[in-house]
């Protein structure tokens, strides 16, 4: 594993990258970590650029992860290796994107899911290291009394992760409940989410390892200028980020997930992304989420959540009808 890159200066980072390449000769990928989004956006409002990497490492593909793990800095050789050209459309404009510079050329800054989609194919992990990491994590969580973990997804490394967790579960060595998931970080992945969840459940599901929740990255994060916001970023007046799905796309997908009895865990950072999710769920859906559907994620819908004989309920009397009231005055 490559040592971490120095963060004290741009020049020292490049020197360290060049020295690592000399120490590891060949034609394979040079995968390094990390560069700081904040530092590089201060240095250049357009972020990192491939020209700096091309100047020192023109003949090998270079992939440098950001400190946030939500974006990547690639050289020209890496872009060519991945088949990314200036004509390649952004997978989710404003969120998962290939940044262009002021001349319209690829800068080498690859954001969010536009980079994640390549990781499993080009950077297969060492199985022993993965298992050791899982063991350490499970031990720490268990020692702190954590009974259940929602892992948030594994970015196409599901088989290597869940095969080991399934092995632990089958032998009674999984110390806590683990909620596995499939991650939708590009728009088209929603179309296969239910199928993938069913495959994971069939292959790896057990007593403690369950697959009941899909994760959606509705937007990116603010350090990447990829969070969906209603007003432009003050530092970048032309940037407002974006969202992975439209309101209509989200609404249709929610209906599919509900029919198949899968939960949805949504990553939202910007206010635009939050608003679209709430619009997709709808006002009645939000009320139902706080009551009847709120019991479902805890698998307690037979005990609480609705007013029925045999269930436990807290009753609140309101002066007005929630469905006809102005939502802005509801607290």
Q: What does the pLDDT read at residue 304?
A: 86
For the chain, give every residue range classified as CATH 3.10.310.70: 10-121
The answer to whether 81 and 73 have CB atoms below 8 angstroms apart is no
Q: What does the pLDDT read at residue 331?
A: 65
Q: Which residues does the chain have with pLDDT short of 50?
A: none
What is the rounded distance in angstroms from the CA atom of residue 139 to the CA atom of residue 132?
Answer: 11
Q: What does the pLDDT read at residue 283?
A: 80
Q: What does the pLDDT read at residue 54?
A: 98
What is the rounded distance in angstroms from the CA atom of residue 211 to the CA atom of residue 165?
Answer: 12
Strands 177-180 and 148-150: parallel
Q: What's the fold here for domain 148-298? A: TIM Barrel (3.20.20)
Q: Which of 105, 115, 138 is nearest to 208 (CA)?
A: 138
Q: What does the pLDDT read at residue 301?
A: 80
Q: What does the pLDDT read at residue 307?
A: 85
Helices (H), the chain: 10-23, 37-43, 50-56, 76-82, 113-116, 119-122, 127-143, 158-170, 193-204, 247-259, 271-281, 283-290, 292-295
Q: What does the pLDDT read at residue 297?
A: 64
Q: What does the pLDDT read at residue 292?
A: 73
318 three-state secondary structure: coil
28: its two tokens: 């394979």
Q: What does the pLDDT read at residue 291?
A: 74
In the CATH hierarchy, which top-level class contains the domain 10-121?
alpha beta
For the chain, give every residue range classified as CATH 3.20.20.140: 148-298
């Amino acid at each position: 594993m490559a040592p971490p890159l120095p963060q004290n200066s741009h020049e020292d980072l490049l020197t360290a990258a060049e020295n690592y390449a000399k120490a590891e000769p060949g034609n394979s990928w040079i995968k390094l970590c990390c560069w700081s989004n904040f530092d590089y956006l201060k240095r250049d409002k357009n972020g990192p650029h491939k020209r700096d990497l091309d100047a020192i490492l023109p003949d090998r593909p270079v992939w440098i992860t950001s400190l946030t793990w939500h974006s990547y800095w690639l050289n020209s050789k890496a872009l060519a290796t991945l088949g990314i050209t200036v004509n390649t459309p952004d997978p989710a404009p404003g969120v998962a994107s290939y940044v262009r510079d002021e001349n319209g050329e690829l800068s080498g800054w690859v954001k969010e899911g536009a980079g994640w989609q390549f990781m499993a194919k080009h950077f297969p992990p060492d199985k022993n290291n993965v298992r050791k990491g899982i063991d350490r994590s499970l031990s720490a969580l268990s020692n702190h009394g954590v009974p259940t973990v929602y892992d948030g997804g594994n970015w196409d490394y599901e088989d290597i992760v869940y095969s080991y967790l399934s092995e632990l579960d089958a032998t009674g060595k999984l110390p806590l409940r683990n909620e596995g998931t499939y991650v939708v970080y590009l728009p088209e992945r929603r179309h296969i989410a239910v199928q993938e969840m069913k495959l994971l459940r069939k292959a790896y599901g057990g007593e403690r390892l369950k697959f009941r929740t899909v994760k959606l990255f509705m937007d990116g994060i603010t350090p990447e200028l990829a969070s969906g916001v209603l007003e432009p970023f003050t530092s970048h007046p032309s940037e407002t980020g974006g969202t992975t799905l439209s309101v209509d796309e989200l609404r249709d997908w929610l209906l599919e997930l509900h029919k198949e009895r899968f939960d949805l865990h949504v990553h939202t950072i910007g206010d635009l992304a939050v608003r679209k999710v709430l619009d997709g769920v709808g006002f009645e859906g939000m009320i139902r989420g706080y009551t009847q559907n709120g019991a479902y994620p805890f698998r307690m819908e037979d005990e609480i959540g609705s007013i029925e004989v045999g269930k436990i309920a807290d009753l609140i009397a309101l002066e007005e009808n929630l469905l006809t009231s102005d939502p802005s005055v509801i607290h």
